[in-house]
């Protein structure tokens, strides 16, 4: 609200972000009640890099605006006030339409005749830069053609700290580099289509329980994270999104170090806008704003949907932001910066030339052709849905992403099928139609039928859904074969009888099972967004074991939102193949049939680790409040050690490691070469920014901002004008005029010092972080009889005692003909070799020995070389631990040693657990029963 602020000094908050201590679990900042240091003023945009033209146009536009028009840009009109899930105010005088903000990260939410794309988790498993971009561009074009200005996606928060996290499937991967590459290409794709990408949720939004205040907690959960972990893990992919030019970033519901994300000045002012040079605008998640003046000064630029509570008619901004500028508690330069950032993003993606007539051409609140444009108020009856079909030929792309992202986890020679099997049988509800149809549950909030989308706001309506059963049936019947099914998960007698018939006649039993999750406002089968466990739903294990007890050729296909525990049936000799098919969207059945029958050779790699137990991950959801009625305290004590990093450090043997996936052919690795590149020295950024600019002038005559007499107010709609010349009365705030503390620098509009890790020339941080220091090449040979795709992966050991054993730093996917050899080339940047130094507040390359590894997964890395400037590296396999210093990291996946002239084949795959001694080297390992089947 628009409070009068006192000049009382703010008591200094403790600057206790963690130094890189001897144990990652001792880093201050990952402890209860940790606080963030205040960082002010909020940096003003400068039009850095390729934002210059957009800023020039935006500054000219904003210079023409009145105070009320500027406020209108920043404030949503209220939930259900217009046709999109979020709309800000229009500027009719200048022909500037209200911006339409619309979900989701996988399609146009609430609209008809749009595509239901694969979830981000599924496209991540393709490990394909081309498909990341193409999917983003196709989604962006559909949003554009429906009249959307800002697509609320992509997602890199949650990154996937806990495998049970309900919205992990909306993101790409718990690895920051895979997520960073994917978000970079997705942002480029969306914005090349002429739509603003809103990358979300910044930051630490890693679970659904307690993400907002509720009955069992008076405040939202606090994710307590140290400074190193923020930079090296959680903020990393956001930096990539910013470097790609994302026009908007959404701040999250939760608190970080006991300060709400949308008013956390350290995260928004210091890291995002100063260190990373973000030039776009920060948008609140829906009702994630908790203050007026404080959030504005801490860097928030737009509040969505604008009202304090849905349809409340009250707002922290709107008229209260007008009041705050008039009474001086929000300086004009801060409001001007908000407006310029919003309009600059509009120009940056060329929204001016990507408009559609009568946009938006749909309503989020009804599928009826005619209805109310102001849905909550039941006003403005008109044509609201034009039912435009914007799908184009995107089904072909969706099918390719699904097939290319399918991960083959086990194959005893059962796959590919021929379609000519004597009897094909299909089991499980996950193979068939949902009883209410694909869109029968709002926001996909149920789990019956095949799982092709999780639940929540990150969804879209299916234009159709091809089920696995109908696609498999089509293939079998095209070959004049016989096919039967039992889709009741609990019809054990019927399952066993049908499976037994296959054992007598020959053929295949294909079992489908799933595991679902979603956003916390929906509860499905007792799961409040986050999964309660890591098991298959609908007693999937019992289904699989029942079929496998009768059928010697049982093929398991899983649609899951993340890892599940498969150990009680994966080693069963009758389970001949296991497939993870992700969260595939509308072409689910066609894609899995492509894999099962060999039209596509599987080349997907798992974007997360499959553990043998829930405990083996080292992280979990906080399900029970640990702070009475206060904010639950979620301490990220594991630091950067999540997913494969945790498994490696603590000697946990995975079921299937990060980056793993089989093929219908084999690949061998050889001939690693490391070339040191000529690069300039790292120079920390120095100097000052310009002073804060203002655009136009603001009259101090309060009467100029009164709502016009006789004006018709739409119910619960948020307007920027005042209802009284008395500011206290207009604010509707009984605490108006109360003294509050002021953080040093909040109102300082003078030139500000740039951060060493920041930049004066572009976005994404210091430009020298992206200098290429090394190029690594390696040869991969297809030693099988059929063409296939291989994702070669480059990992680096940073060598320090508190570093992960290895971290992914680059990858590429190529198609290789049988018998052919392809050379992969990987650049290693300065950023790839750097650690965050909390004292210097900058990236540094430590003196520990750095080693590069190349292979086909995080635990099969047969090629290695020291990054010492030599042109050719050694190739002696994965070492026992980081070199250059003592280390407690002792997990040492190897895959076998190899020389520069040769490498281990795809079947040399290691699951073994080290003894902890530095001389330990495991034997090569082949998954049980893995053979190659030639087509």
Q: State how beta strands 821-829 and 842-844 pair.
A: unpaired
Q: Which two tokens stand for residue 333?
A: 């330069």
For residue 899, pLDDT over 70 is answered with: no
What band does 880 get if pLDDT is binned at 50, 70 and 90? very low
Q: State how beta strands 255-256 and 196-202 pair.
A: unpaired
Q: Supply the pLDDT for residue 23.
A: 33
Beta-ladder partners of 507: 423
In the annotation, is 285 catalytic? yes
Q: Out of 20-24, 164-168, 180-184, 341-345, pick the least confident.
A: 20-24
Q: Supply the pLDDT for residue 29.
A: 72
Q: Out of 16-30, 127-141, 424-438, 759-773, pick the least confident.
A: 16-30
Q: What is the mean pLDDT of residues 430-448?
A: 96
Query: What 3-state DSSP class applies to 73?
Result: helix
In terms of Cβ atoms closer than 10 Å to its own Cβ (0-12, 13-18, 19+), residue 706 is middle
Cis preceding-peptide flag for 534 (omega within 30 of 0)? no
Which position has the token pair 């086990």?
410
Query: What 3-state DSSP class applies to 704?
Result: helix
pLDDT in tens, 688-734: 999 999 999 899 899 999 999 999 999 999 999 999 999 999 998 88
For residue 896, pLDDT over 50 is answered with: no
Half-sphere exposure at residue 234, Cβ-oriented, CA atoms within 13 angstroms: 27
Q: Whole-angstrom Cα distance, residue 22 to residue 9? A: 36
Q: Out of 457-461, 552-556, 788-792, 928-932, pick the least confident.
A: 928-932
Cβ(190)–Cβ(140) under 8 Å? Answer: yes
In terms of Cβ atoms closer than 10 Å to its own Cβ (0-12, 13-18, 19+), residue 353 is exposed
The string over 313-328, giving b where at least 16 C-beta atoms fall within 10 Å of a residue's C-beta and e elsewhere, is bbbbbbbbbbbbbbbe
The string over 417-439, giving b where at least 16 C-beta atoms fall within 10 Å of a residue's C-beta and e elsewhere, is bebebebbbbbbbbbbbbeeebb
Q: What is the mean pLDDT of residues 522-542?
A: 98
**Residue 646 to residues 32, 204, 750, 804, 879: CA-CA distances in angstroms?**
22, 18, 45, 8, 17
For residue 627, pLDDT over 70 is answered with: yes
Cβ(509)–Cβ(547) under 8 Å? Answer: yes
Q: Supply the pLDDT for residue 868.
A: 87
Q: Whole-angstrom Cα distance, residue 788 to residue 878? A: 26
Q: Whole-angstrom Cα distance, residue 870 to residue 876? A: 16
Cis preceding-peptide flag for 104 (omega within 30 of 0)? yes
- Residue 899 phi/psi, 5° resolution? -95, 175
Q: What is the mean pLDDT of residues 529-558?
A: 98
For residue 888, pLDDT over 90 is answered with: no
What band does 601 get if pLDDT is binned at 50, 70 and 90? very high
Query: What 3-state DSSP class applies to 672?
Result: strand
- Residue 17 phi/psi, 5° resolution? -60, 145
Q: Whole-angstrom Cα distance, residue 589 to residue 594? A: 9
Q: Whole-angstrom Cα distance, residue 269 to residue 692? A: 14
Q: Whole-angstrom Cα distance, residue 659 to residue 127? A: 9
Q: Which residues contact 293 (CB under 8 A, 6 or more apart)?
A: 1, 2, 3, 5, 324, 329, 330
Q: State how beta strands 100-102 and 150-151 pair.
A: parallel
Q: In 245-316, which residue ranges form alpha helices assigned H by DSSP? A: 265, 293-297
Q: Supply the pLDDT for residue 28.
A: 61
Q: Which residues contact 615 (CB under 8 A, 6 or more apart)?
A: none
Of 264, 415, 324, whose CA–CA distance to 70 is shortest? Answer: 324
Q: What is the mean pLDDT of residues 898-906?
A: 30
Q: Quick one: angle between helices 492-505 and 540-548, nearest 10?
A: 30
Of 417, 597, 599, 573, whose CA–CA distance to 507 is shortest? Answer: 417
Query: What 3-state DSSP class applies to 474?
Result: helix
Q: Which two tokens stand for residue 242?
A: 């910013």
Query: What 3-state DSSP class applies to 832?
Result: helix
Q: Whole-angstrom Cα distance, residue 189 to residue 105? A: 12
Q: What is the mean pLDDT of residues 215-235?
A: 96
Half-sphere exposure at residue 292, Cβ-oriented, CA atoms within 13 angstroms: 27
For residue 365, pLDDT over 80 is answered with: yes
Give the neighbor-by-neighbor strand order of the sheet with 248-251.
86-87, 100-102, 150-151, 196-202, 248-251, 281-284
Cis preceding-peptide flag for 360 (omega within 30 of 0)? yes
Q: Supply the pLDDT for residue 215.
A: 82
pLDDT in tens, 67-93: 999 999 999 999 999 999 999 999 999
Q: What is the mean pLDDT of residues 184-203?
A: 98
- Residue 731 phi/psi, 5° resolution? -75, -20
Q: Whole-angstrom Cα distance, residue 697 to residue 343? A: 18
Query: What 3-state DSSP class applies to 214?
Result: strand
- DSSP assignment, residue 393? T
Catalytic choice (103, 227, 285, 634) = 285
pLDDT in tens, 569-588: 999 999 999 999 999 999 99
Domains contained in the chain, CATH given: 51-353+702-753 (3.20.20.300), 395-608 (3.40.50.1700), 670-679+771-866 (2.60.40.10)
Cβ(404)–Cβ(126) under 8 Å? Answer: yes
What band does 154 get if pLDDT is binned at 50, 70 and 90? very high
Q: Out of 14-23, 371-380, 750-759, pick the least confident.
A: 14-23
Q: Which two tokens stand for residue 692?
A: 């804060």
């Amino acid at each position: 609200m628009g409070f009068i602020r006192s000049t009382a000094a703010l008591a200094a908050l403790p600057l206790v972000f963690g130094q890189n201590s001897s144990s990652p679990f001792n880093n201050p900042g990952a402890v209860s009640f940790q606080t963030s240091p205040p960082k002010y003023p909020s940096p003003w945009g400068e039009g850095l890099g390729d934002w210059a033209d957009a800023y020039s146009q935006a500054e000219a536009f904003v210079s023409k605006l009145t105070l009320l028009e500027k406020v209108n840009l920043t404030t949503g009109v209220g939930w259900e006030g217009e046709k999109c899930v979020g709309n800000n105010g229009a500027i009719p005088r200048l022909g500037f339409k209200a911006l339409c903000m619309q979900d989701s990260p996988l399609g146009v939410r609430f609209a008809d005749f749009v595509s239901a794309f694969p979830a981000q988790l599924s496209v991540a498993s393709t490990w394909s830069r081309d498909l990341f971009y193409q999917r983003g561009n196709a989604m962006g074009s559909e949003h554009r053609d429906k009249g959307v200005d800002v697509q609320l996606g992509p997602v890199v928060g949650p990154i996937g700290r806990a495998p049970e996290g309900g919205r992990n499937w909306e993101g790409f991967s718990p690895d920051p580099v895979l997520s960073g590459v994917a978000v970079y290409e997705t942002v480029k794709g969306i914005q090349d289509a002429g739509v603003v990408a809103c990358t979300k949720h910044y930051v630490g939004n890693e679970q659904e329980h307690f993400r907002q205040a509720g009955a069992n907690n008076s405040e939202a959960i606090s994710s307590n994270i140290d400074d190193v972990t923020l930079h090296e893990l959680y903020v990393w992919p956001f930096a990539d999104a910013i470097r790609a030019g994302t026009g908007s970033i959404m701040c999250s519901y939760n608190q970080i170090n006991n300060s709400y994300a949308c008013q956390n000045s350290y995260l928004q002012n210091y890291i995002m806008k100063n260190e990373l040079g973000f030039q776009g605008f920060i948008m609140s998640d829906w009702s994630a704003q908790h203050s007026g003046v404080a959030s504005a000064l801490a860097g928030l630029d737009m509040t969505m949907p604008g009202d304090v509570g849905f349809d409340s008619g009250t707002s922290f901004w709107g008229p209260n932001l007008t009041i705050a500028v008039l009474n001086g508690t929000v300086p004009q330069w801060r409001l001007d910066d908000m407006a310029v950032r919003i309009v600059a993003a509009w120009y940056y993606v060329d929204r001016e030339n990507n408009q559609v007539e009568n946009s938006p051409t749909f309503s989020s609140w009804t599928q009826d052709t005619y209805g109310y444009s102001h849905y909550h108020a039941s006003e403005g009856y008109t044509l609201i849905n034009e039912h435009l079909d914007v799908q184009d030929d995107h089904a072909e792309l969706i099918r390719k992403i699904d097939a290319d992202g399918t991960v083959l986890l086990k194959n005893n020679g059962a796959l590919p099928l021929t379609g000519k099997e004597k009897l094909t049988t299909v089991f499980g509800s996950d193979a068939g139609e949902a009883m209410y149809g694909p869109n029968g549950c709002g926001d996909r909030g149920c789990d019956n039928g095949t799982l092709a989308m999780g639940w929540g706001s990150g969804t879209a309506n299916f234009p159709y859904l091809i089920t696995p059963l109908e696609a498999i049936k089509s293939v079998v019947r095209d070959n004049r074969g016989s096919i039967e099914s039992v889709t009741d998960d609990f019809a054990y007698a019927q399952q066993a009888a049908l499976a037994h018939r296959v054992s007598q006649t020959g053929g295949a039993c294909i079992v489908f099972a799933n595991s679902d999750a979603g956003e916390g406002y929906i509860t499905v089968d007792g799961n409040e967004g986050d999964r309660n466990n890591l098991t298959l739903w609908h007693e999937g294990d019992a289904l699989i074991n029942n079929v496998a007890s009768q059928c010697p050729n049982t093929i398991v296909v899983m649609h899951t939102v993340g890892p599940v525990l498969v150990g009680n049936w994966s080693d069963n000799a009758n389970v001949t193949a296991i497939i993870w098919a992700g969260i595939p969207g509308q072409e689910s059945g066609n894609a899995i049939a492509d894999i099962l029958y060999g039209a596509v050779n599987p080349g997907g790699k798992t974007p997360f680790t499959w553990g043998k137990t829930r405990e083996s991950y080292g992280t979990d959801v906080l399900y029970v409040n640990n702070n009475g009625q206060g904010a639950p305290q979620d301490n990220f004590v594991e630091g950067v050690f999540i997913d494969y990093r945790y498994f490696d450090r603590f000697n946990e043997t995975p079921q299937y490691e990060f980056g793993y996936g089989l093929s219908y052919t084999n690949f061998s690795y050889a001939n690693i070469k490391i070339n040191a590149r000529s690069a300039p020295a790292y120079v920390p950024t120095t100097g000052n920014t310009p002073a804060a600019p203002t655009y136009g002038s603001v009259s101090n005559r309060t009467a100029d901002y009164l709502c016009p007499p006789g004006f018709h107010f739409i119910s619960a709609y948020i307007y920027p004008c005042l209802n009284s010349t008395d500011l206290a009365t207009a604010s509707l705030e009984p605490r108006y005029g109360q003294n509050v503390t002021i953080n040093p620098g909040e109102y300082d509009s003078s030139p500000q010092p740039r951060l060493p890790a920041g930049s004066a020339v572009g976005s994404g941080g210091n430009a020298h972080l992206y200098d290429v220091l090394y190029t690594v090449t390696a040869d991969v040979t297809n030693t099988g009889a059929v063409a296939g795709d291989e994702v070669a992966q480059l990992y680096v050991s940073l060598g320090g005692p508190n570093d992960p054993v290895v971290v992914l730093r680059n990858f590429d996917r190529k198609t290789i003909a049988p018998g052919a050899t392809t050379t992969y080339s990987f650049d290693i940047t300065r950023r790839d070799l750097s650690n965050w130094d909390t004292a210097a507040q900058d990236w540094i390359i430590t003196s520990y020995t750095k080693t590069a590894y190349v292979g086909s997964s995080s635990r099969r890395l047969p090629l290695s070389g020291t990054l010492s400037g030599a042109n050719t590296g050694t190739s002696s396999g994965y070492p026992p631990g980081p070199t250059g210093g003592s280390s407690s990291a002792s997990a040492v996946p190897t895959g076998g040693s190899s020389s520069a002239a040769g490498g281990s084949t795809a079947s040399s795959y290691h699951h073994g657990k080290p003894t902890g001694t530095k001389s330990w080297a495991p034997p090569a390992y082949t998954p049980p029963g893995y053979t190659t089947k030639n087509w």
